Amino acid sequence: MGIFVVMPFSTAFSETLQLPDFGDSSSRTISKSEEVKLGKLIIRQLHREMNFIDDADITGYVSDLGYQLVSHLEEKNNQYQFFVVQNNTINAFALPGGFIVVHSGLITKTDSESEMAAVLAHEISHVSQNHIAQAMARSHVTGLMNIAGVLLAVIAGSQNPEIGQAALYSTIAAGAQDQLDYSRVNEKEADRVGIDLLYHSGYDPNSMSKFFNKLLQESRTFGMEVPEFLRTHPVTESRIADARNRAEQFKVNKIRATRLPYFLIKAKLKVLTGDMHYDMDFFRKQLSNAISIQQKAGARFGIALALQKEHHTIKAIDHMQQLLKEDPDRLEYLVTTADMHMEIGHNDAALTLYEKAIALNPKNVYAVRQYATALLSLHQNKQAISLLRNQIQSMTDDASPVFYHLLSRAYGANDDLINAYISNAQYYFLIGQAETAISQLETAKKLPKLTEFHRLRIDDRLKQYKAIALEESKIKDVK
């Protein structure tokens, strides 16, 4: 008998689901490959349920921070991937296979990189401690598709808890109190291991208790209007005390300072998800009150992005030029300024900046994506194809759906319709639209000049996509 659980940040909200019996319940009840398969399937479906942020600068920062923490783990058996969804609520959760999803609101609510690291360390710890596999021994739900379906209902329930949790409780009603007690043990262990990870990674081990306390204070301030996350993910005084006591066991000589990218990403998310007029006032005030050089740069970056959002791109470039004068090799500045030049038709200036960014970091997903987009707009299709193919080869599919979409556009503009349809099929498959992916491949198969190589490639993918589409149809029945 086995089960599966989403491990959300900051609570005892871990719901258990069952898999078929894989052997002794005291050992792992699901293989790593099965965990990854389940995680990929859920991520594809979540693309249909949630607004994934495809800004490679934002996702790249969160991934970089996550990998810094992962590098200090003693166990090396898991692979990790990090995603950001546009949602102003405070939330994060871990999926099987090491997939970790962070809400944008959680990032903007933190006050330091150590607090952000504390959230990721907690979720990473759920994966590293095999909490998902352990939970699989305690459920009454059978079948991978049933697990995926109920889990997706739970995640959807973060927007409407009555719907998501009702679907879950009706499925696993037996042993609810036992499961709740078990999840609290896992949460406490994730806190403990996460604090250890913060310390060994150079971050403030007290940041976890500080962030817990912030959530608790907000819940008291909001009164009856407590956000859904805080109603369904209670932060207790006991949990804060446990986290504080654990952190006090470490002798901290030096805490890693909050890096500039943290302030830049927060500014970008503020503009992306906020009101532009409020953004401008917010960043101007932040600039005048900035204490550190990093805070000042983050505020100016926010002003530039807000100006661009209000279509005052020339003024925005003036602010970016000042930032580049202070830090001429900062990739975020180079690419953002290049984007602004492209917007107003300064193509040569834009290409020069993109090329410098690529020379500094040839595989940076943010630089490659923006450069490829610019090349396509300038009809430099062959160069875009080469750039995108090299980038895709260096990434996992799950992290790169947008690159397949760009590659499809590049092939289409270069009159290579067969590869355009194949690439677009992979894009749709990765964002959870297997039926559309199948349609794209079937169209490609009917095109003239189809080679035997292409036919075999298409047939192989059709077989894969149809198998997944059949599995996903079973998920819909569960949901």
Lowest mean pLDDT among 5-9, 304-308, 395-399, 463-467: 5-9
Task: Compute the distance between CA of residue 290 and CA of residue 268 in angstroms, rounded to an integer.
Answer: 17
pLDDT of residue 190: 86
Give the model's confidence band at 224: pLDDT under 50 very low, under 70 low, under 90 confident, else very high: very low
Q: What are the tens digits of pLDDT across the range 329-349?
A: 999 999 999 999 999 999 999
Domain spans of the chain? 2-247, 259-327, 332-404, 416-479
Question: Mean of the pLDDT values across residues 445-452?
Answer: 94
Residue 25, pLDDT score: 35
Average pLDDT over residues 289-311: 95
- The structure tokens listed for 477 are 């029945």
Which segment of 229-243, 309-323, 436-450 scores lowest on mean pLDDT?
229-243
Q: What is the pLDDT of residue 229?
A: 47
User: What's the whole-number average pLDDT of the chain?
Assistant: 82
**Confidence band (pLDDT; 50, 70, 90) for 78?**
confident
Q: What is the mean pLDDT of residues 253-270?
A: 93
Cα–Cα distances in angstroms (integers) from residue 63 to residues 68, 93, 121, 317, 352, in the given order: 9, 14, 12, 28, 27
Would you say 201 and 69 are in contact if contact means Cβ atoms under 8 Å apart?
yes
Task: Tell me which amino acid residue 117 is.
Answer: A
Q: Mean pLDDT, to the nearest integer, of 303-311?
A: 95
Report the pLDDT value the prediction gives residue 20, as an integer from 0 to 100. Answer: 31
Instruction: Report, at the CATH architecture level, how domain 416-479 is classified.
Output: Up-down Bundle (1.20)
What's the rounded Cα separation, in Å, for the pair 268 and 277?
14
Query: Which residues neighbour 202 within 8 Å (Cβ) at sequence distance 6 or greater?
Result: 254, 255, 256
**Whether the Cβ atoms of residue 444 and residue 421 lie closer than 8 Å to each other:** yes
**Percentage, residues of the chain above pLDDT 70:** 77
Q: At what angle are helices 331-343 and 365-377 packed, to 10 degrees?
A: 20
Tell me what pLDDT residue 306 has. 94
Judged by average pLDDT, the poorest of 117-131, 380-394, 432-446 is 117-131
pLDDT value, residue 75: 79
Better-predicted residue by pLDDT, 139 or 449: 449
Q: Distance between CA atoms of 451 and 457, rounded to whole angstroms?
A: 10
The per-residue pLDDT for range 344-369, each reduced to its tens digit, is 999 999 999 999 999 999 999 999 99
**Which of 250-258's residues contact partners 24+ apart within 8 Å by CB, and which partners?**
250/195, 250/199, 250/205, 252/199, 252/204, 252/205, 254/202, 255/114, 255/202, 255/203, 255/204, 256/113, 256/114, 256/201, 256/202, 256/203, 256/204, 257/294, 258/112, 258/113, 258/114, 258/294
pLDDT of residue 258: 93
Quick one: pLDDT at residue 157? 58
- 3-state helix/strand/coil string of the chain: CEEECCEECCCCCCCCEEECCCCCCCCCCCCHHHHHHHHHHHHHHHHHHCCECCCHHHHHHHHHHHHHHHCCCCCCCCCCEEEEECCCCCCEEEECCCEEEEEHHHHHHCCCHHHHHHHHHHHHHHHHCCHHHHHHHHCCCCCHHHHHHHHHHHHHCCCCHHHHHHHHHHHCCCCHHHHHHHHHHHHHHHHHHHHHHHHHCCCCCCHHHHHHHHHHHHHHHHHHHCCHHHHHCCCCHHHHHHHHHHHCCCCCCCCCCCCHHHHHHHHHHHHHHCCHHHHHHHHHHHHHHCCCHHHHHHHHHHHHHHHHHCCCHHHHHHHHHHHHHHCCCCHHHHHHHHHHHHHCCCHHHHHHHHHHHHHHCCCCHHHHHHHHHHHHHCCCHHHHHHHHHHHHHCCCHHHCHHHHHHHHHHHHHCCCHHHHHHHHHHHHHHCCCHHHHHHHHHHHHCCCCCCHHHHHHHHHHHHHHHHHHHHHHHHHHHC
How far out from the chain centre does Cα 231 lie? 24
Residue 39 in contact with residue 101, Cβ under 8 Å?
no
Lowest-confidence pick of 210-224, 283-297, 427-441: 210-224
pLDDT digits (tens, 9 = 90+) for 81-133: 999 999 887 788 888 889 999 999 889 989 999 999 999 999 899 888 877 66
Per-residue pLDDT averaged across 238-253, rounded? Answer: 89
Cβ atoms within 10 Å of 415's Cβ, excluding its own: 8
Q: How big is the CA angle at 282 (ends 276 and 288), to the nearest 5 degrees?
A: 140
Q: Which CATH class is domain 332-404?
A: mainly alpha
How many CB atoms sit inside 10 A of residue 442's CB?
13
pLDDT at 155: 67
pLDDT at 235: 65
pLDDT single digits (tens) 151-195? 676 666 555 443 333 333 334 334 455 555 556 677 788 899 999
Per-residue pLDDT, 86: 92
